Every structure is written in structure tokens, then in C-alpha cells.
Amino acid sequence: MRFWLNRGIDGFRLDVINFISKNQSFPDSDQVVLKGTEYYAAGPRLHEYLRGIGDVLAEFHAFSVGEMPCVYDPEEIIRSVGADRGELSMIFHFDFVTIDYGPKGKFSPREWTVSELATIADKWQRFMYDHDGWNALYVENHDQPRSVSRYACDCPKHRVQSAKMLASFIGLQGGTLFVYQGQELGMVNVPKEWPLEEYKDVEIWNHWKDYKDASPDVQRAVLDQYQKKGRDSSRTPMQWDATRHAGFTAPGTEPWIRVNPSYRQLNAAAEVADANSTFHFWKRLLAARKLYKDVFVYGDFALESPHPNDSDAKLMAYRRIGMGRDAYVVCNFGEEKEVWEGLPEGSTEGTVILSSVVKEGKTVSGGETMELGAFETVVVLVHRE
């Protein structure tokens, strides 16, 4: 660590760092899914090792973010990231990205609800605020499918709105935001038509061994899960422009994996040139985080809706609470119009500071409802009296 820190790096991203301590008696596991993790996901010497890492980081005032899968107890996680623990700066939890895992693991289906997603957000926001920890915010990385395809709609009609809405959902919560390459463009999963032979992910091919002799119906169901959750969708070449191979490789050079054919319309050059693109929405969102730091960086968090038991809800709203002003972040996760109940009756007038459609600058009165279209998002700033 000192070798790299002495050369000026600012910190480390630590892969599956919670796996570094094992039960040395190596007992057999009774778990069917994620077999053995009960003995090494948070092993007996984990915090001893993390404090050693933290001591070195402290010498350099350096940063760390640890990937921490298979640990679902917040009390265990806060032992790694609590401000007084001297271990990690923050961790990547996995609750958002395992929400669609079925009873047989990642490649088995599960339907999730917006209220579940909202409950997860509220759980981690509140827990870190109440226990002097800090969140790492992400919905995409090199191990995850594209968020637009996973949590919203990647069809041409709704793709852009979906990408902007998800940017608001994750980007305005409290914590340090991580944006994965292509997420700022709203890149989507590989096509459903891709045959198995197009996939490169070793996780998929190892899983397929158990299904290569299954019935055609079962195989189609498994392939559907590969397209929805496989890692290849995040590993296809970055879509720079509409030229051959999306501008990723030199002429005559084949990339290691096929380019997502969406590159012809969905690429960086096109989005930079379009003021209404997902790219420019992300720019406005990040500018808002900086402009209203007291709200979006240092402010508190309160989930406004939906109710945890409302399994049919499509609208999610949360409030960030700053110094004398609040921001309401409203996200429609559905294909139909939804009505937001708006600012509390009697509150001062608010202003739309961020919108996925042309609503920025619009004023909103207390008690006034607002209709949001399919996958629309709006952010309203209110000054408290």
C-alpha cells in the first residue's frame, strides 16, 4: 500500500475485502446458495486486518472503498466503516444489485417492487446517518448489468427518460457517488437475441454446465436471465461514436467482445451534441450536487413514499434536508402517468431545479399535486421559513 501511496494515489478500491479472513478449521457448509460464505464473509480476523489497512491509509489521509458482498447485517458492516473504527472509508453493499436474485441465486428469476427498492435506500441512508458511517452509491459496475435495463425500461420509447430518472434516484442520495462507464450515456444490456455463443462471461459458462442438457423451455428461461443479469452487458466496448466498433478499436482490429448494436444511436458523440441527452442530464445533476452541498452532500435523508407495504407503488419520493432548505426528489418507475402529492400543505413555494422534461424553473405551491409521465423525474427545492 505504501508503495502506491508514496507515488501519489489517493486511495484504494478493495475487491471483496471482507473475504480476507477464513475460519481455519474449514468447516463444511450447509448453505445451498453462496455456499461457505457464512464462514468467510466476515471471518474471525476481518477487523484486525481492516484496522491494519486503516492505519496505513491514515498515514496518508487516503481514501478506501471496500466491496463487501454476502454481508447483510448492518451492525456487522458498521464495524468496518464507522467513523471511529479506523478501518474503511465506505463499502459497496449489495442490497440494490441482488434485489432481483431468485431462490436459486443470481440466474433464477425474482420480481421486485418499487417499495422494496425504496426500503433498501431508506435502510442504508438512515443507518449510516444514525451510526456515523458513510454510503457508497452505485447501481452499475463491471459486475452488474446496465441499470436502465434492470430497474426501468430500455425500450427506445422510454430509455432516455429511464436513464435520467435512475440518475436522480441514485445520484441525489447521501454518500459518495460512483458512476460506471457508459452509465452517464444510459447504455443498455446486450440484445435479447444474442445466442449463448456471444457471451464471454465465465460465470455464465460455469452456470450453463448445469443446464446444457435441460429442456428447451428451461434453457430459454436461463438464457433470459443471462441477458438480464450477466456481466457482459457492462463489459461490451464503450460506445464512443457511430463508426465501426463504436470507435473503440483501431480500423481492422476486432474487440474481445462484440459491440452492443445500440451504439449506432447511443454513443458519446451523439449525446454530447444533444443538450437533452442523458449525458447532459448527468452534468446538470452533478452541478446541482455541488451548488447545493448543504442539501445533497451534507443534508439529512427522509423517505417520503412509497409505504413499505405498497407493493403496487410506482412512484418513489425522498427528501434531502439542508440548512434552511429541502429538496424533494421524485421518481416514476412506471410506464403510466403517476401523481405526486406534492409539497406539504402550507409549505413555502418550491422551484424545480432538475427535471427530465422541460419543467426546470417551474414553481410549485404547497398542496399542489404534480403529474409525472412514464419514468419521469423531478427535483424541487424549497426554502423553509
Residues annotated catalytic, as ranges:
15, 67
For 2, 254, 285, the CA distances from 250, given in Å and listed in that order, are 37, 8, 34
Separation CA 36–CA 310 (nearest Å)? 35
Cβ atoms < 10 Å from Cβ of 278 = 25
The DSSP code for 238 is P
For 45, 58, 103, 200, 347, the CA distances from 219, given in Å and listed in that order, are 42, 51, 17, 17, 55
Burial of 327 (0-12, 13-18, 19+ CB in 10 A): buried
Cell of 160: 432516455
Do 145 and 187 meet the contact criterion of CB atoms below 8 Å apart? no
CA proximity to 81, closest of 42, 121, 131, 25: 131
Cell of 238: 464503450
Do 325 and 383 meet the contact criterion of CB atoms below 8 Å apart? yes
The DSSP code for 102 is B
Separation CA 78–CA 75 (nearest Å)? 5
Phi and psi, residue 300, nearest 5°: -80, 175
The DSSP code for 105 is B
Burial of 215 (0-12, 13-18, 19+ CB in 10 A): exposed
Look at residue 370 and give its three-state secondary structure.
Answer: strand
